[in-house]
Amino acid sequence: MQRVEGFKKIIIYSDTDRVKCSGEHNDHPLVYYTIPQGGEVVCGYCDIVFRRREDDTWEDETMLNRFES
């Protein structure tokens, strides 16, 4: 398997610190990761980056949801 340098970085933002990954197209076994506080975790199989959603963003979305409902 070859990895290309400069491969487009995929970043997934999560609302929780527990994330799971099975590849962009389910191309590797399902694995679970824990995102460190204020940090990010990179999948060892497919290099997808998981980041914890910022607290500010989370509050904004909560307000948006209030407006919608």
C-alpha to C-alpha distance for 38 and 51, rounded to whole angstroms = 8
C-alpha to C-alpha distance for 17 and 63, rounded to whole angstroms = 22
Of the pair 13, 45, the CB lying nearest Zn ion is at 45
Cβ at position 48, least distance to Zn ion in Å: 5
The reply to whether 21 sits near Zn ion by the rule CB under 5 A is yes
Mode of pairing for the β-strands spanning 18-21 and 31-34: antiparallel
The reply to whether 13 sits near Zn ion by the rule CB under 5 A is no
Q: Phi, psi (5° rounding) for residue 51?
A: -125, 145
Q: Tell me the window of 4-12, 22-30, 32-40, 55-63 that interacts with Zn ion (CB under 5 A).
A: 22-30
Q: Out of 17, 45, 49, 51, which residue is the one contacting Zn ion (CB under 5 A)?
A: 45
